[in-house]
Structure 1
């Protein structure tokens, strides 16, 4: 047998194992609200090839490739346990088992590592929590996709309605079509049907009422059987407490804004300050996509090296706020054609750092350049540190943060030498450290942070909503603090 034959046989063996993983992963998710992860990447509803690619990608962050032959025994061990709602990272189970010197079997080690999610310790399933989307644009539709994807067993978050302004004939069909197909993020994973008679969109069995209104004051959500709901405002029309409080209508308990909040509205970056949300807080903001991209690495760098001052330059994909062709715009430069120009503009992300990370006393400045790409941006974070260090130390530290810290869902890490922006479409992390571009000279460090300003940000929004609704289930093995 030749080497090529050996490689092919090995591939077919791994294909077979990945194929056998799918029903196990699906059943755990559907029946027990258990999400199986591999280095913080969900394996739920993934294809055979996608599971194999996710295992191979581990070499980018952990330094070596994982094989399904290594992770499958841990997945099988999980099926024998009395698991409650949780997220379990089989990549981390496999990695930590390698370094464990207690001589335990895979079954014994797994039972101990996830003990907090089993038996009397397990979290009780939450009753379904209604969610309403106010606005159904780029972020609204991606948040809808995520809510539908995470419906799981039917417990947790449940998308009940979207609120939009009437768009005329075939409005419902057109909105369903935009949810079904996306030029950047691809096809919706599942089925979508339209019930025009009842004014609903049915996506993977989730019945979503489409409510037409020009103002929050026009809607009584209880009339649609919606109660105690979390409303996600994707319009950005209201950004202060007074404006956002208009949404606190019958049936709505809390309002979450997908834009930077003004005044005393808390700006929340999940992973950094979500634990500061007061239980009785009814109005909050998820800040901006760029704020979510820079605050977690800023916190990580400040924790380890100290940050004395910094500047962030964002090279940002164009957005619907800009014009397709030159036309009037109230803001400077944004009236010029977005697909044809690099456009210097402002970013509020630097000033927003103080709201999300008040313990960081360093002054942070910022500016932005909009460029002719439809999605994925990069933040260039230039920092003056509190001590001298080396490039190797910074990269090893950030790699470890991406794998083991409480920020591992926010910070990803890549060593790919030819990485470009399109490679990060669909990333669920708030930002991805580009190891190859990182520069360190004494107490000066420059980090290049990729981020999917649409999908990665939408994932952060969902994490905040899960937290305030009480369905943010614990992750095992527990990250190092």
Structure 2
């Protein structure tokens, strides 16, 4: 047998194993509210090739490829346990098992590692929580996709309605089409139908009412059977407590803003300060995409090395508030053609750091340049540290943070030497450390942080909503051995 034949036979064998994993993963998700992960990446509703690619990606984090032959025994062991709602990381199970020297079987080790989610310890499945989207632009549609994707168990977040201004003939058909197809993020995974008579979009069986209103005060959500809902305002029209309070109508319990909040509105970056949200807080902000990109690695660096001061330079993709061609704009530079120019602009991310990291003593400054790409940005974080270190030490530290720390859902890590912005379209992390671009000299460290400013940010928004709704479930194993 030739090397080529041997490689193909091996591929076919791994395909067969990955194919057999899909129904096990799906059943755990539907029947027990268990989300199976691999190094923080969900395997729910993934294809055979996606599962294999996710296993292969592990080499960039752990240093070597992870095989489905290694993870399948752990998945099989999970199906035999009395599991409650949880997230279980097969990559972490495999890594911690390899480091364990007690001679336990895979089944014994798995049962011990996820004991907090089994038997008397398990969390009971909660009732689904209604969600309303106010606005249906770039972030609104991506958040809708994520909510629909996560509705598989029927016990999580349930998108009940979208509120928009009337747009004329076939408005709902056009909005459904924008949800169905996206020039950057591709096709919607599933089916979408429209019932114009009832003003409803049905996506993967989820009936979503489209409500037309020009002002929040015109809507009574209880008329649509909506109760105790979380409303996500992705218009950015209101950013202070007084304005956002207009959303607290019958049927709405909490309001989440997808832009930096003003005044006393808490700015929340999931993974960093989401546990500071008060149970009775009704209005909060998810800050900006750039704030979400820089705050987790900034916290990680401050925790380990201390940060005395820093500057963030954001090279940001253009957005809808810019003009395609030169035209009037309230901001002088943003009036110039977005696809044809680099445009110097401001960023509020640096000032927003203080809200998310109040204990950080360092002064952080920031600026931004909009560039002619439609999605994915990079933040260059230049830090003066409290002690000297080496590039190798920071490299290994951030890699471990991305793999095993509480920030592993926020911080990703890539060693790909040829990585460019489009490679990170669809990333679910708040930011991705580019290992090859990292620079460290003495007490100065420069981090290059890629981030999908649309999809990665939307994932952070959904995580915050899951947390405040009580459907954010613990991850196992919780720590590395």
Q: Output the TM-score relative to the length of structure 1.
A: 1.00
Alpha carbons 1:293, 1:379 under 8 Å: kept: yes
The structural deviation recorded for 1:408 is 0.3
Tell me, in whole angstroms, the C-alpha distance in 2 between the residues paired with 1:339 and 1:88.
Answer: 42
- Alignment of 1:342 with 2:321, yes or no, is no
CA deviations over 1:151-174 (Å, ceiling 9, x no partner): 022111100000000000000000
CA deviations over 1:7-57 (Å, ceiling 9, x no partner): 110000000000000000011111111000000000001000010000000
Q: Which runs of 5+ in 2 are unaligned?
A: none
Alpha carbons 1:383, 1:444 under 8 Å: kept: yes
Tell me, in whole angstroms, the C-alpha distance in 2 between the residues paired with 1:208 and 1:4.
Answer: 50
Provide closer, same or farther for how the CA distance between residues 480 and 271 of structure 1 changes in structure 2, counting only shifts above 3 A: farther
Tell me, in whole angstroms, the C-alpha distance in 2 between the residues paired with 1:32 and 1:178.
Answer: 33
Alpha carbons 2:267, 2:286 under 8 Å: kept: yes
Tell me, in whole angstroms, the C-alpha distance in 2 between the residues paired with 1:359 and 1:331.
Answer: 34
Tell me, in whole angstroms, the C-alpha distance in 1 between the residues paired with 2:363 and 2:322.
Answer: 29
Provide closer, same or farther for how the CA distance between residues 92 and 423 of structure 1 changes in structure 2, counting only shifts above 3 A: same
Alpha carbons 1:406, 1:480 under 8 Å: kept: no
Equivalence for 1:241: 241
Provide closer, same or farther for how the CA distance between residues 325 and 353 of structure 1 changes in structure 2, counting only shifts above 3 A: same
Alpha carbons 2:92, 2:480 under 8 Å: kept: no
Q: Secondary structure at the match of 2:70?
A: helix
After TM superposition, the structure 1 = structure 2 runs for residues 56-135 of structure 1, keeping only pairs within 5 Å, are 56-135=56-135
Q: Output the TM-score relative to the length of structure 2.
A: 1.00
CA deviations over 1:378-402 (Å, ceiling 9, x no partner): 0000000000000000010000000
Alpha carbons 1:410, 1:431 under 8 Å: kept: yes
The structural deviation recorded for 1:332 is 2.5
The structural deviation recorded for 1:480 is 5.9
CA deviations over 1:195-230 (Å, ceiling 9, x no partner): 111110000000000000000000000000001000
Q: Secondary structure at the match of 1:35?
A: strand
Alpha carbons 1:228, 1:251 under 8 Å: kept: yes
RMSD: 0.7
Tell me, in whole angstroms, the C-alpha distance in 2 between the residues paired with 1:230 and 1:352.
Answer: 23
Alpha carbons 1:221, 1:227 under 8 Å: kept: yes
Tell me, in whole angstroms, the C-alpha distance in 1 between the residues paired with 2:102 and 2:480.
Answer: 20
Alpha carbons 2:148, 2:203 under 8 Å: kept: yes
Equivalence for 1:286: 286
CA deviations over 1:335-358 (Å, ceiling 9, x no partner): 000000000000000000000001
Tell me, in whole angstroms, the C-alpha distance in 2 between the residues paired with 1:123 and 1:414.
Answer: 34
Alpha carbons 1:427, 1:451 under 8 Å: kept: yes
Provide closer, same or farther for how the CA distance between residues 8 and 480 of structure 1 changes in structure 2, counting only shifts above 3 A: closer
The structural deviation recorded for 1:479 is 3.4
The structural deviation recorded for 1:331 is 1.1
Alpha carbons 1:164, 1:214 under 8 Å: kept: yes
Alpha carbons 2:134, 2:163 under 8 Å: kept: yes
Tell me, in whole angstroms, the C-alpha distance in 1 between the residues paired with 2:264 and 2:382.
Answer: 29
| Residues 309-318 or 152-161, more deviating | 152-161
Alpha carbons 1:271, 1:410 under 8 Å: kept: yes
The structural deviation recorded for 1:103 is 0.3
Q: Secondary structure at the match of 1:334?
A: helix
Alpha carbons 1:234, 1:257 under 8 Å: kept: yes
- Alignment of 1:426 with 2:444, yes or no, is no
Tell me, in whole angstroms, the C-alpha distance in 1 between the residues paired with 2:128 and 2:405.
Answer: 30
Alpha carbons 1:127, 1:155 under 8 Å: kept: yes
Tell me, in whole angstroms, the C-alpha distance in 2 between the residues paired with 1:9 and 1:228.
Answer: 54
Alpha carbons 1:258, 1:288 under 8 Å: kept: yes
Q: Which runs of 5+ in 1 are unaligned?
A: none
Provide closer, same or farther for how the CA distance between residues 176 and 220 of structure 1 changes in structure 2, counting only shifts above 3 A: same
Alpha carbons 1:269, 1:292 under 8 Å: kept: yes
Alpha carbons 1:376, 1:454 under 8 Å: kept: yes
Q: Secondary structure at the match of 2:456?
A: helix
The structural deviation recorded for 1:4 is 1.0
* Structure 1 stretches of 4+ moved >3 Å: none
Alpha carbons 2:96, 2:480 under 8 Å: kept: no
